[in-house]
Amino acid sequence: MTDVLHSVREGRLLRLTLNRPNKRNALDAALCRALVSALEQAAADHAVGAILLTAHGTAFCAGMDLGEIAQADNAEEINTVHEQLFTVGARLGKPLVAGVHGAALGGGTGLVANCHIVVAGPEASFGLTEIRLGLWPFLVYRAVAAGLGERRTLELSLTGRVFGPGEARDIGLAHEVADDAVGRAGEIARELAGFSPTAVQKGMDFVERVRGMDWREAGVIAREVRNQVFAGEDFQEGIRAFREKRRPRWPSVGGGDA
């Protein structure tokens, strides 16, 4: 746990909470470093099955810290840590679920796009607002485009417009809208944390590996990875548990069957 990021374990669920409420959880270098570190540690921890991302205060994340970014002497450090953060969704290998309340603008929208499942509250707002500052969402663009498509992401980047949870759901940035976004996101994350770590990791790695690949090449990889899962202990345990009508006890929770 750090001052800017709170971390709490709840069984196989890791809850990470952005904690710069007086700055509307703007992404300064310290918060970015803490978040990247926490996510990378979670990725390597067999005891963590899923991660829930929330925030303290009235905003989820107002984007980059403008006061810090204006200091030219640390621009490269900020670029590096932002690159690490805004590609984490493709590298994590474990489900990252967000419960979004209030504003998630600029880099906040990029952070949301890196999450694999997103629940938005009725007061949530989103937008790639960098153009209003004479900037472009360079580092978050790839993650947003992967989820929304190039044309939609380009439109949002050019207009800088802010939109609500209903449109976020309609275009695929959010998956659900719920009155209690954090509570609903927690339910989803806890359910995902109970699934086979091997199946989840192999599946998520497969999705990233075949992104943009010819479907025939992707099919070869799909058969290869599926055979690996078929031969693994988790799949055998899943079959036994199904037949015995009980909850599975995944061998890979202890680090095996990876």
Look at residues 168, 111, 165, 175 and name the one whose alpha carbon lies nearest to residue 143.
Answer: 111
Residue from 40, 77, 130, 217 carrying the catalytic annotation = 130
Q: CA 119, CA 101: separation in Å to the nearest integer?
A: 9
Q: Largest Cα–Cα distance of the chain, in whole Å? A: 62
Q: CA 102, CA 61: separation in Å to the nearest integer?
A: 8
Half-sphere exposure of 161 (CA within 13 A, CB side): 10
Q: CA 74, CA 72: separation in Å to the nearest integer?
A: 6
Q: CA 245, CA 22: separation in Å to the nearest integer?
A: 50
Known catalytic membership, residue 176: no
Q: Which residues are catalytic?
A: 130
